[in-house]
């Protein structure tokens, strides 16, 4: 199957579920649909206002989650998927992409951990800030949908 077909299959399941929040990130059918897309290069999320790149996004290695970082890993360590992201971290037990979003001053900030019945252990809302001042408050569902739509149409970048 082509990448676009895998993306369509995952988008269909996402629509059936009505989102990918809370326990939905563990949905086995959605995970199965996403599996062929995990080992693809991270994609650039761009600002809709100024077109600058804001972050890099890729799929979580096991869950129906979009993970992200401000920077990519060095070319030597990039092997697609989450290895494409800058994994620099403190040794506090958090997954590196979450750890980075908890540090003050970054362009990616966790804006809300829970709410809406979110008990997944992952953030409910994450805010991406562009250098131009634009802010993107996102939930996993909207990130995943935008990511899959870019894959579906063969675009190399993501816009919200
Ligand atoms: Zn911008």
pLDDT in tens, 116-131: 667 788 899 999 999 9
Confidence of residue 27 (pLDDT cuts 50, 70, 90): very high
Whether pTM exceeds 0.85: yes
- Number of domains composing the chain: 1
Structural domain for 118, as ranges: 3-154
**17 C-alpha to center of ligand 1: Å?**
32
**16 C-alpha to center of ligand 1: Å?**
33
- Looking at 71-80, 82-91, 121-130, which range is the least confident one? 82-91
Task: Classify residue 145: in a domain, yes or no.
Answer: yes
Task: Classify residue 160: in a domain, yes or no.
Answer: no
| Environment of ion ligand 1 (residues, CB < 5 A) | 47, 49-50, 52, 130, 132, 134
CA distance linking residue 146 with residue 140, whole number of Å: 10
* Sheet of 43-46, strands arranged across: 66-69, 53-59, 43-46, 157-158
Task: Classify residue 114: in a domain, yes or no.
Answer: yes
**54 C-alpha to center of ligand 1: Å?**
8
């Amino acid at each position: 199957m082509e990448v676009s077909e895998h993306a369509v299959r995952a988008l269909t399941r996402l629509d059936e579920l009505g989102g990918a929040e809370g326990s939905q990130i563990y949905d086995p059918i959605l995970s199965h649909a996403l599996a062929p897309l995990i080992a693809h290069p991270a994609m650039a999320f761009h600002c809709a206002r100024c077109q600058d790149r804001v972050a890099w996004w890729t799929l979580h290695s096991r869950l129906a989650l979009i993970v992200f970082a401000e920077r990519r890993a060095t070319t030597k360590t990039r092997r697609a998927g989450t290895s494409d992201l800058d994994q620099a971290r403190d040794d506090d037990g958090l997954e590196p992409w979450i750890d980075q979003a908890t540090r003050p001053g970054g362009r990616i900030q966790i804006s809300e951990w829970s709410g809406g019945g979110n008990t997944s252990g992952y953030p409910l809302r994450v805010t991406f800030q562009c250098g131009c001042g634009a802010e993107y408050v996102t939930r996993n569902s909207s990130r995943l949908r935008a990511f899959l739509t870019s894959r579906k149409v063969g675009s190399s970048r993501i816009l919200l």
